[in-house]
Structure 1
Amino acid sequence: MNQQGAPQLGQLVRNLRGRDAGKLAVIIGVEDERFVNIADGDKRKFDQPKKKNLLHLELLDIISEEVAGSLRETGRVTNGKLRYAIAKYVENQPSAEAQEKGE
């Protein structure tokens, strides 16, 4: 299984497989030890999360406190907050990753 720790709400992930390979998203729900629900607030909205196998995701060591707090308090998060969390992560990365995001 993953060498990383357990997935957490608000944690950023990178898709490794599928149509969205290379794209960033945020964990908005943990189904069980193998599956999580992810959304990016853009193509994949909060109301239509994607169920992904953890083997197909790279768990990044960034947890968005805004997203995690909102999910804990209300059980929901706005798509804007998801986009903001991803944008904030991208702008703090070296330029190679920013170019990769631009596709």
Structure 2
Amino acid sequence: MSEAESTPEVGQIVHIKRGRDAGNFAIIIGIVDERFILLADGEKRKYDRAKKKNIHHVELCSYISDEVKRSIEDTGRVTNGKIRHALVSYRKEHPELLKEGK
């Protein structure tokens, strides 16, 4: 990872590289410390039951969902529908990810 990619932000989309959810995308909904983040996808991993994940087990994407980030900053939470919408929007903007099987 480069220096710019190594700093996760709330609302940023990640590609999970290791673990049970490997190959899936999720959104960072919280940062525990410099090593761990909280992830949710709005379906399997809901906001209320976020997955604590090692930062080295995910690939940070350059896309940050402003809607998710703003909602968490304003209210301290986000709906699972907004999380799902952000992930679907990201996949539509990046159709090459589907061809690669990601």
TM-score with structure 2 length normalisation? 0.92
Alignment of 1:12 with 2:18, yes or no, is no
Distance 1:78 1:98 in 2: 25
Structure 1 runs (4+) greater than 6 angstroms displaced: none
Deviation at 1:98, TM superposition (A): 2.4
1:25-36 equivalence runs, <5 A? 25-36=26-37
Deviation at 1:5, TM superposition (A): 3.2
Deviation at 1:56, TM superposition (A): 0.0
Distance 1:10 1:37 in 2: 11
Distance 2:85 2:98 in 1: 15
In structure 1, the gaps of 5 or more residues are none
SS at match of 1:47: helix
Contact kept, 8 Å, 1:37 with 1:50, in 2: the verdict is yes
**Alpha-carbon deviations, 1:53-79, whole Å to 9, x = none?**
000000000000000000000000000
> Structure 1: which amino acid aligns with 2:30?
G
Distance 2:94 2:10 in 1: 21
TM-score with structure 1 length normalisation? 0.91
**Alpha-carbon deviations, 1:9-47, whole Å to 9, x = none?**
000001000111010000000000000000000100000
In structure 2, the gaps of 5 or more residues are none
Distance 2:90 2:72 in 1: 19
Contact kept, 8 Å, 1:91 with 1:98, in 2: the verdict is no
Distance 1:67 1:85 in 2: 8
Deviation at 1:89, TM superposition (A): 0.3
